[in-house]
Chain A
Amino acid sequence: MNSYLSTVFSKVGSLLATLLVISLIIFSLVELMPGDVAQMILGQSATEESLRELRQARGLNDPFFTRYGRWITGVLRGDLGDSIYMQGVPISSILWRKVGHSLFLALTAFIIFVPVSIVLGVIAGVKEKKAADSIISFTGLATMALPEFVSGVILISIFAVRLKWLPIVSVIPIGQTLFQNLDILILPALSITFVMFGYVSRMQRSSMIIVMNSDYIKAARLKGLPERYIIFRHALRNALLPTITIIGMNMGWLFGGLIVVETLFGFPGMGSLLMTAIKTRDVPLIEACVLLITVIFALSTMTTDLLYGYLNPRIRFKGGQR
């Protein structure tokens, strides 16, 4: 059998095993969370009696593994359960809309930061120790050091408060869709770009420097190939590999990191939903959100591994197969 295919299968297998373990961890961690769901729903004026009744009615008194089993079998069937708060409202009806919004935000950020960081990283690498390199490297370091909630506030005060070009808050007006309000995506996407730009451009720069100093590039130069041809045809292909890993690894982070950005901008995505769920101790909703973030993280890591293998023949053809 093709060894690449078997790698794919083993990766998918370990992914599933990881997710199963993770699901158990998520469930236990949420279990450990202080606070009481029944109390949270009933509020201050709840009596012991009504608390007991509510716990009973929601199955909160069942043993741990009974509840875990009920949850995980539901998840496998695609049933994420009902929100604690909205009786009779399945989580899937709340969740997928927000996930869609978040994915779209992540995609927007991706489309902005990937080309920008790679191009600038290449320039910095090629012009090593020149003015362009210093500026790009410094900017990368500065934006990377700024947390999203700081860069977000800076962006808001410039583009929304001073210039009034973009909305301060990324809320979708009632009766409209995200696609009618694409301008609300820009500032959140830029704050994500700020953070990602540093990582990606610096990785691209250093791998570019290594490659540009390697023997085969020297040979190409000696052959008299034009510099541009060398950079894009020979160097970039190899220098992209570590960058792709970094981007892939960070996709998962990006999705989790959206919590801060979405809360700051009031964007109706999965991050702000998770935040609300945590604040209100909506346990099934927390579990669903965290599990989904884990799935996205695991999937993006796996895709990166596979892509890396595909792009790098040394891994693809391991064992001498042709």
Chain B
Amino acid sequence: MKKIAVFLVVVLLFSSLLFAGGAAEQESTKKSLRVATQVPGLITMGIWDGQAFALNSSIYEYLIEIDANTGELVPVLATDWETEDGKTWVFNLREGVTFHDGSAFTAEDVKYTIERTQDPEIGHLKKNDFAAVEQVEIIDDYTIALHLEKALPTFIYLFTDYNMGILSSEYDYASKGEMYPMGTGPFILKEIIPKESAYLVKNESYWDPELPKVDELLLYFVGDIDASVSMLESGEVDVVPQISPIIKKRLDQQEGITVVSPYQENRFIALVQDREPFNDNRVRLAFKYAMDPQVIARSVAQMELNEGVFYNESFILNEQAEYLDIPFRGRDIEKAKELLSEAGYPDGLSVDLYYASDHPYGKELSQTIKELSADAGFELNLKGFTRDVYLSQHWLNVPMSITGWGARVDVSMLLSYAYHSEGPWNESHMNNPKVDELIDLIKAEVDYDTRLGYYHELQRIFFEEGTVINVQVPYLVALSDKVVDYRQPLTMLPQYKYTDIK
């Protein structure tokens, strides 16, 4: 009996200790921006797939960045640049910039960063793009010239890619890059607890004395989106990126929280050109006639068409300057059936649709187009896989697929990846000499208006005989009302240096 009494007392003591704990909130006048984000993968530039945006884009910095409001190029570590023929590019670099370890930023670091893309040990994702650089010439400490093997008028845009943050030529990224990432960015990493959190403080010697606006950036790596949203609702964080439309609907009714959509992403429905049944353009057209963009918008994202969800039959976002506004062909089931009949499928047909079931909008989109196309006689067999399985085992090798594609600021990049007959990720196996020719012309054309003409011609071809339906879905970020000036351009990199806290 005595023992039990002692035990109970211990329990009581312990539980009172529990309740006494917590509430140890630290009062401070520091401005903190707190973000619940996804657990990052690799941190060092080169082969990260963009999961660690918040962390990387705050520690590292780029030669140029994209203005989140206007989409224009903004000088960062490069102050200006020029090219006469698109073959030789000269960059003037910002003086007086230091890395977080105190060393000075010079042309040597830019050279190192560019040459590092070709290092076979790294498997750099920009290896192919920068293979065009024949020579990197350091003119002086703050001037660098890049000599390309051929003219590339839009080469400059490659430097906005998220893997092209400028690294220090003197730092050992191979062994220290993951635990002690180091760049010239607006925030310095103080502490990182892997898979849990990162604590970043303002870079006091940042080259722009006005920035960053907040004193510290606190990143919580939360694997579960619902837990992240709970943190936002209870005021423990200010920013939660990548929420779903369903969560948006709930948060829309909540005071003190706003959901923004900084940019759109493509979901390409690939109708593969050299596989049955879509090897016949009439079948591709029949499928397009069976679609209803408004229904897709509502069921995929609970939004109205052209208010968050956009639709076209080409490779480009409707919001991009090169987009040609071709009116929607209209849903016409009779016409679709007729086309199928002509193509030899009077009784309809069955096709396997592959997609990443865990990727945002994947399940909803596949289900919606299955139902829409059923009216015309299509029977889609849904083959959903987790994203890594989908990408590694099925993608690029199936008759029909849905794949998420981030838009490229320079559309020609995406074209040469995905729609050139020799493109590395030509998922729809597009093989059209006219398309190839136009893509090559676009890549080499210096004059903007001529280039625009090529883009428009290309979009007309896609409308007539293209292999893709492009559903554009919003990337959604939930913000507390304390957050002022959240910026995230098409490069997908959040620019936390501009963000302030009320």
State in angstroms the CA–CA spacing of A35 and B193 once bound together: 27
Contact residue among B178, B197, B386 (Cβ-Cβ distance under 8 Å from A89): B178
Q: Does A44 contact B178, Cβ atoms closer than 8 Å?
A: no
Query: Contact mask A113-136 → B, CB, 8 Å, 1/0?
Result: 001000000000000000000000
Query: Contact mask B208-233 → A, CB, 8 Å, 1/0?
Result: 00000000001010111001101101
Given that A42-B125, A50-B127 are known contacts, is A88 also in contact with B178, CB under 8 Å in the complex? yes
Q: Which of these binds chain B: A59-67, A165-173, A295-303?
A: A165-173
Q: Does A171 contact B236, Cβ atoms closer than 8 Å?
A: yes
Determine whether B320 belongs to the interface, using a CB cutoff of 8 Å to chain A. Answer: no
Determine whether B425 belongs to the interface, using a CB cutoff of 8 Å to chain A. Answer: yes
Residues of A within 8 A of B388 (CB): 35-36, 39-40, 281
Residues of A within 8 A of B21 (CB): 179-183
Residues of A within 8 A of B389 (CB): 34-36
Q: Does B227 contact A45, Cβ atoms closer than 8 Å?
A: no
Given that A54-B47, A171-B236, A273-B195 are known contacts, is A86 also in contact with B223, CB under 8 Å in the complex? no
Residues of A within 8 A of B425 (CB): 44-45
| Minimal beta-carbon separation of B460 from chain A (angstroms) | 28
Determine whether A199 belongs to the interface, using a CB cutoff of 8 Å to chain B. Answer: no
Query: Contact mask A131-151 → B, CB, 8 Å, 1/0?
Result: 000000000000000000000
Q: Does A182 contact B18, Cβ atoms closer than 8 Å?
A: yes
Query: Contact mask A155-182 → B, CB, 8 Å, 1/0?
Result: 0100010000001110111111001111
Q: Does B1 contact A232, Cβ atoms closer than 8 Å?
A: yes
Residues of B within 8 A of A182 (CB): 17-22
Determine whether B49 belongs to the interface, using a CB cutoff of 8 Å to chain A. Answer: yes
State in angstroms the CA–CA spacing of A174 and B34 once bound together: 10
Contact residue among B7, B44, B223 (Cβ-Cβ distance under 8 Å from A272): B223
Interface residues of A in 26-53 (CB under 8 A from B): 34-36, 38-51, 53
Q: Does B179 contact A266, Cβ atoms closer than 8 Å?
A: no
Contact residue among A47, A53, A168 (Cβ-Cβ distance under 8 Å from B128): A47
Given that A44-B49, A44-B403, A86-B179 are known contacts, is A266 also in contact with B124, CB under 8 Å in the complex? no
Q: Does B123 contact A54, Cβ atoms closer than 8 Å?
A: yes
Residues of B within 8 A of A266 (CB): 222, 224, 227-228, 230-231
Determine whether A210 belongs to the interface, using a CB cutoff of 8 Å to chain B. Answer: no
State in angstroms the CA–CA spacing of A98 and B221 once bound together: 14
Q: Does B391 contact A39, Cβ atoms closer than 8 Å?
A: yes
With CB as the reference atom, state the residue of chain B lying closest to A166: B22
**Residue among B20, B43, B196 with the highest chain A CB neighbour number at 10 A:** B196
Determine whether A213 belongs to the interface, using a CB cutoff of 8 Å to chain B. Answer: no
Residues of A within 8 A of B49 (CB): 41-45
State in angstroms the CA–CA spacing of A181 and B42 once bound together: 30
With CB as the reference atom, state the residue of chain A lying closest to B179: A89
Q: Does A36 contact B17, Cβ atoms closer than 8 Å?
A: no
Interface residues of A in 81-122 (CB under 8 A from B): 83, 85-89, 93-94, 97-98, 108, 111-112, 115
Q: Does A53 contact B120, Cβ atoms closer than 8 Å?
A: yes
Residues of A within 8 A of B174 (CB): 87-88
State in angstroms the CA–CA spacing of A88 and B43 once bound together: 12
Instruction: List residues of chain A with CB under 8 Å of any chain B CB.
Output: 34-36, 38-51, 53-54, 57, 83, 85-89, 93-94, 97-98, 108, 111-112, 115, 156, 160, 167-169, 171-176, 179-186, 228, 232, 263-266, 268, 272-273, 275-276, 279-281
Instruction: List residues of chain B with CB under 8 Å of any chain A CB.
Output: 1, 4, 7-8, 11, 14-15, 17-24, 26, 39-44, 47-50, 120-121, 123-125, 127-128, 174-179, 191, 193-199, 218, 220, 222-224, 227-228, 230-231, 233-234, 236, 385-386, 388-389, 391-393, 403-405, 417, 424-425
What are 20 A-to-B residue pairs whose CB atoms are below 8 Å? A39-B392, A41-B41, A43-B48, A44-B49, A44-B391, A45-B417, A89-B179, A115-B8, A171-B236, A172-B197, A174-B198, A181-B22, A183-B23, A232-B4, A263-B227, A265-B227, A266-B227, A272-B223, A273-B195, A275-B224
Q: Contacts A89-B178, A171-B231 given; 10 further ones with Cβ under 8 A?
A: A36-B393, A43-B50, A43-B125, A46-B123, A48-B424, A85-B178, A169-B230, A171-B222, A175-B199, A183-B21
